[in-house]
Structures are given as C-alpha cells and as structure tokens.
Structure 1
Amino acid sequence: MNFPQPLYDAIQNHLYPLMFASVSGAHLYGFASPDSDWDLRGVHILPASEVLGLALPRETVDSDRVVDGLELDLVTHDVRKFMGLMLKPNGYVLEQLHSPLVVFTTPEHAELRELGRRCVTRYHAHHYLGFSAGQWKLLNRDDPPRVKPLLYTFRTLLTGLYLMRTGVIEANLAMLNTEAKLPYLDDLMAQKIAGREKETLTGDLSFYEAEFQRLTGELEQAMEVTTLPAKVEPEVEEELSGLLVRLRMRDQG
C-alpha cells in the first residue's frame, strides 16, 4: 500500500533506528474523513550507550507536524517500553503491532508479532471496556454530539468481543461488522467518511445508548467464558527479553 510521502519522510528522519512503523487511528479503523490526521505508531531502538548512561533514556518520541496540509501525529516507544506494555492487558499496543497498514518493517517486527499473539489474555477485555466507556462519556460531553466518539465506542467494544471469541486482534470496524451485522454502523461510517473529522451526529441517541449497554454486557460475558488464558506464560517474557538483548547487542556491532 502506498502512503502519503510525509509518513515515509518521518521514518527516514527519525532520531533512532526503527523496528516498525504502522498506521493507527481512523485510517486503521476504517472510517477516516478527508480531513483526518494520520496516526503513525511504532517502535524505536535506543542505543545501549543511552540506556546505560546517567541520563534518562528517551523512551518515547512524540511529535505533531503539518506537511503540505497533511496532519501527522508520530509516536514511537523504545522497544523495552513497548514490550513492557505488551505484557500488560493493553490492546492499543497490540493493535499497533498487528496493524496491516505497515509503513516500515523489519524481520524483528515479524518476530515481535508472533510473541504478541501469545500476550493476549482474557483481561484485555478490561482495556476495551474502559476505552469504550471513556468514548461514550466524551460523546455525551459534546454539544452537539459527534459521530467520531460514537464510532470509537462501538469499534472498541467489537474489537474486544472479537478478541475474546477468537484471540485475534481486529481493529477495522468494517471487517468487525461483517460478523456483528449491525446495519447502523455502516450508515455511521459512511457519514464519517463522507464528512468531516468533527461530523455532527444525527439520530436517536437513546437508541445508541441501548446498543452501548447491550454490547458492553456482551463483552463482560465474553470475558467470563473465553478460552483465553488469565496471564501471559513466563516463556513469552523470556523470549521477549532475549529479543531485546539481541537488538541492543546488535546495535553495538
């Protein structure tokens, strides 16, 4: 897939070597508006000299820029910090890791993806329950309410449900809805894609509230009956540690 040139330029000019960089946000979720910014996420590799020195290492690189009218939000974490997040019930980093919208990759990215699949637990449901609840509150604070937080609410709930049932990370709402078959989602996505990033919501908010409560209940139940493990196996942490050591040592060669 071809991406706007500023994404490639941001990778080329990054302060540190990258393991991977992928697209997140509305473009990944399948409902980007013409004026949506691009969310570029990834993993950088700090040199051992910075990790071992007295100065605090730069674990996160975060920058916003506008290039030729394109808004780009770049966030990368050092590989050690990213691995630590993988070992927690953090669905967001797993979505970045498994995003099909890959702008830059390495063999170690593929290795990390395989380990990421083994980091999924039943408690990742809490991540999606909390995220969806936060988006629902955001929706209700807006006057008038906007389409975007409503789509984020349903996207996170359906991602969580799909993960509990299959063990697979899927963040694209259109793909998720092929199984969920919620007709109103197609209409909401079409409205957002054809409109603006801050497109105003039309329709009965009480209907969407009922759906929010219903899907929240389904995700809570799915967490109880899933076959996913309760915690990550110790072997996974050991393999992540081994990969981290190899990456640090390689950069000293």
Structure 2
Amino acid sequence: MDDIEYVDMIEPSARSEIEARLSSLIREEGIRCLMAVESGSRAWGFPSPDSDYDVRFIYLRPPQDYVTLRPVRDVVERPIVDDYDVNGWDIRKTLGLLLKHNAVVAEWLDSPIRYIADDPYVAELAALADKHFNPAGYARHYASLGNNNVARWPASTETLQVKRYFYALRPALSIRSLRMFPERRPPMRLQDLMALTDLPPAIADEISDLVALKAQSRERAPARRSKRIEALILAELSKSEDIPEKPDSPSFLVEADNLFRRIVAAVPPAP
C-alpha cells in the first residue's frame, strides 16, 4: 500500500489563491492568524479532482475585543467561491471546544497541509490537547460522525458514492485506532489510520483501490458496494463505547485559561 504525501497535492496556483484570500481576510477582520490548514478530503487522504479546498484557521482578535459588553462573533466565514471554503475559529472558541475534547480541533492541529507558518503558540495548543486527551470523548465524536453518514446509505443499491464510504470509514478507523492505542489521538489521514490499525491486506487493498478511484473521478462518483468494507465500518462504529474514559484533570481548565491569557496578552492593543 503506497503512502502518498498529500502536502504536495495543492497546486501552486491554488495555494497562491488561498494565501491571497487569507491575507485579505486578516486585513479586513483586523485579526492575527495563528494557523491555517486544509481540513477535508485533500487532507484526509482521499481527494477528487473536483474536491473543494476546505481552508480552516484559528485566529486572535485585539485584546479589547475580549473585554467588552458586546462580545464579538467567534467565527470568521466567507462564502464558498470557486471551490474555496474558508472559515476559522477564534482562539477562545477553539480552547472551549478543546476542553470538550472536540476532535475537529485536534485534526486541524495535525493537518499535513499548512497554508501559513504556525504561530509558536500552536505547539502549546497541541501539547495541551495531548496532555489532556480523553479517548472516550473522541470516540463519541467519531461514532456520531460515522453513524450519521451510514444513515445516508441507500437501503438497497448495488453502488454507493465513494465519498459516502470514506466519510464513514475514516471515523470507523479512528475508533479502531482508539481501541488499539487509547493513549494517543488518532491520526487525521486515512492512510495513516490504515497503517496504524493493521488492517487485513485484502481490505487494505480494497480501500486503496477506492482511494485511487476517487482520485480519478468526480466527488459524487459511484462505486460497487463492498460487504467487507461495510462490515468493517459497522463493526468499529458499534465498539465506540468500549473506549476507556479518562476523567478530566482539575488542571485542564486552569492550563487552558492560562494559555488563553498569555496569547491575548502577547497581542498589542489596537490604536
């Protein structure tokens, strides 16, 4: 099974366009961008030629925006234009979701595709996520994500959109990873999950064939249904409650608060 490096799959013209959009957004919003990554099929390891660019970022506003009687919105979004989907979360929102063991935050931190250089505080954010990682919290996230996608499968058809398989398969393999390695966050990319969870060769080859098919087809291209892959997905999703719970340390909120204050204090106030 070949392990493809997806960092290089962003064409230079697309990367330049994304960087330009981020620069304009930062200037218009008056924010400081801590990190900007790809989060979607291109970063998950199963892009199609017509896949959107799902650009996600974490940002910081001027200090006075955090001490106001009129709270500023904690997300920045732009309409999807020409397949570019660009939006981000405020650092306060990000840390709040991290306290709830939100797996999306962890995936952004681990994305193999970065559009700007990470701010030094991003490493501290990742360290906080690792230190207080609760495998059961992540398992609940992936079980909900996977089951919601399985519910969209047609009841009786010979084919299924390839992306529908992947949107359930990646969460299922994330749960498999959590079962096998409950001490670590599961990797973001499908190929890394496959390698880590030691899939039977026949299933691994079948999944790799689907990845290759999607790489040459449109986003909604169909594929012949696979009983083996569907059985794997359903079996792993059903085991989410087997993942051990790690109670939160009383220091988690204190450490997150301290990190938030240090990040905000590091930004000079607006004139």
TM-score w.r.t. structure 1 length?
0.87
1:95-152 Cα deviation digits (max 9, x unpaired): 1122122222110111111111123213221111111001111233898631102111
The equivalent position to 1:136 in structure 2, one of 138, 147, 150, is 150
Return the alpha-carbon distance in structure 2 between the equivalents of residues 133 and 114 of structure 1: 30
Amino acid at match of 2:88: T
Return the alpha-carbon distance in structure 2 between the equivalents of residues 203 and 169 of structure 1: 26
1:118 matched residue in structure 2 = 131
Return the alpha-carbon distance in structure 2 between the equivalents of residues 10 and 84 of structure 1: 27
Q: How far off is 1:210 after superposition?
A: 2.4
Give the RMSD, CA atoms, in angstroms.
2.2
Q: Is the 8 A contact 1:94 1:169 kept in 2?
A: no
Structure 1 residue 250 corresponds to structure 2 residue 266? yes
Q: Is the 8 A contact 1:17 1:45 kept in 2?
A: yes
- State the 4+ residue runs in structure 1 displaced beyond 4 angstroms: 141-144
Structure 2 unaligned residues grouped into runs of 5+: 1-6
In the superposition, relative to structure 1, how do residues 190 and 132 fare at CA in structure 2: closer, same or farther (>3 Å)?
Answer: same
Structure 1 unaligned residues grouped into runs of 5+: none
1:13-162 matches, cutoff 5 A: 13=24, 14=26, 15=29, 16-66=31-81, 70-104=82-116, 105-123=118-136, 124-140=138-154, 145-162=160-177
Q: Is the 8 A contact 1:42 1:77 kept in 2?
A: yes
Q: Is the 8 A contact 2:186 2:193 kept in 1?
A: no
Q: Is the 8 A contact 1:41 1:76 kept in 2?
A: yes
Aligned-pair identity (%):
25
Q: Is the 8 A contact 1:98 1:169 kept in 2?
A: no
Return the alpha-carbon distance in structure 2 between the equivalents of residues 32 and 71 of structure 1: 13
1:178-232 Cα deviation digits (max 9, x unpaired): 232423211211111111111112234x5543232222234443x14xxxx5233
2:3 matched residue in structure 1 = none
1:37-63 Cα deviation digits (max 9, x unpaired): 111112111222222223231201122
Structure 1 residue 194 corresponds to structure 2 residue 202? no
Q: Is the 8 A contact 1:61 1:75 kept in 2?
A: yes
Return the alpha-carbon distance in structure 2 between the equivalents of residues 12 and 140 of structure 1: 42
Q: Is the 8 A contact 1:163 1:170 kept in 2?
A: no
Q: Is the 8 A contact 1:48 1:248 kept in 2?
A: yes
Aligned residues between the structures: 244
Structure 1 residue 230 corresponds to structure 2 residue 246? yes
Return the alpha-carbon distance in structure 2 between the equivalents of residues 45 and 245 of structure 1: 11
Amino acid at match of 1:116: A
Return the alpha-carbon distance in structure 2 between the equivalents of residues 114 and 77 of structure 1: 19
Structure 1 residue 180 corresponds to structure 2 residue 199? yes
Structure 1 residue 170 corresponds to structure 2 residue 181? no
In the superposition, relative to structure 1, how do residues 164 and 46 fare at CA in structure 2: closer, same or farther (>3 Å)?
Answer: farther
Return the alpha-carbon distance in structure 2 between the equivalents of residues 128 and 148 of structure 1: 16
Return the alpha-carbon distance in structure 2 between the equivalents of residues 46 and 78 of structure 1: 8
Q: Is the 8 A contact 1:177 1:185 kept in 2?
A: no
Q: How far off is 1:92 after superposition?
A: 1.5
Return the alpha-carbon distance in structure 2 between the equivalents of residues 218 and 184 of structure 1: 22
Q: Secondary structure at the match of 1:195?
A: coil
Amino acid at match of 2:22: I
